[in-house]
Amino acid sequence: MRIVLLGPPGAGKGTQAENLTKIYGVPHISTGEMFRTAVKEETPLGLEAKKYMDAGELVPDSLTIGIVKERFLKSDCAKGFLLDGFPRTLAQAEALDQMLEELDVQLDTVLNIDVPEEDLLIRLTGRQICRQCQAPYHKAFKPAQKEGICDLCGGQLYQRDDDSEATVLSRLEVYNRQTSPLISYYADSSRLTTVSGDGSVQEVTDRVKAALENLQ
C-alpha cells in the first residue's frame, strides 16, 4: 500500500495515518515529525528547519526531498508507506514521481482529506501532543482524562510551537498558495481520492477505509 495523505494543516492527516499504519502495516512517514525530531536533537538539519517551522513556512524543497529520499532507502518501505505532509509543493510532487519511477512502483492513491477552512483554526489552536508517545489530543474535541497528562503513557502534553494562532494563519496561507495546487496535479493524473474530514476521528477513519477498499 503506497499512499500520500494530502490536506490542509489540521485536517487530521497525522491522526488518520496513525490508524492506517496499524491497519495496513506500512510505515508512517511524516516529514513534519522528522523535522521535529531533528529540531529536538539540535542536528544541523533541525537548526535549519526550525527557522522555517517557527515562522509557519515550508522548509526548502532541497532539504525536504533529501530526507524523504533517505527514508525511502530503509527496508521497511519495501512493503509500502503512508506519506503524511509530503509532498507540499509542485517541485516535491515531481521529485516524488521521479523517486517512485526509480523504484519502479506507483502510488495506490493520494488521499485528500477535505475540511472547511473555518474549522481548521479551532482544530489547530486547541491541539495537544504527548511529549513521550506523540499521541494527539484536543482541548475541546479529545481532551485527556487528566488535564495535561497522556491517557496512554502518562507523558506530559504540550502545544506545538507552530500551533499558535499567528503561525497557524501563516501555515494556512502557505497551504492555499503552495500545497492546494497539488489537488489538481493528482486529479489530472487520476490519482486523487477525496474524503470529507468532517466529524469524529472514527467517522473519518471509516470513510477513509471505505474509500481505500473501493480502490482494490
Q: Which residues bind ligand AMP (CB under 6 A)?
A: 9, 31-32, 35, 52-53, 56-59, 64, 85-86, 88, 92, 162, 171
With respect to ligand AMP, which residue has the nearer C-beta, 54 or 101?
54
Catalytic pick from 2, 69, 139, 160? 160
- Supply the minimum distance, in Å, between the C-beta of residue 213 and ligand AMP: 26
Is 160 assigned a catalytic role? yes
Among the listed residues 36, 50, 88, 123, the single catalytic one is: 88
For the CB of residue 9, give the shortest distance to ligand AMP in the complex, in Å.
5
Please tell me which residue in 13, 36, 50, 123 is annotated as part of the active site: 13
Which residues neighbour 163 within 8 Å (Cβ) at sequence distance 6 or greater? 124, 125, 127
Burial code (b: 16+ CB inside 10 Å, e: under 16) for 170-194 equals: ebbebbeebbeebbebbeeeeebbb
- Do 167 and 54 touch, CB atoms closer than 8 A? yes
Nearer to ligand AMP, 49 or 192 (CB): 49
* Residues 158, 140: Cα–Cα separation, whole Å: 15
Q: Clarify whether 146 is annotated catalytic.
A: no
Q: Residue of minimal CB distance from ligand AMP? A: 32
Spatial separation of the C-alpha atoms in residues 72 and 95, rounded to whole Å: 13
Minimal distance in Å, beta carbon 216 to ligand AMP?
Answer: 27
**Residue 36: active-site member:** no
DSSP H/E element including 18: helix 13-24
Active site amino acids? 13, 88, 127, 160, 171
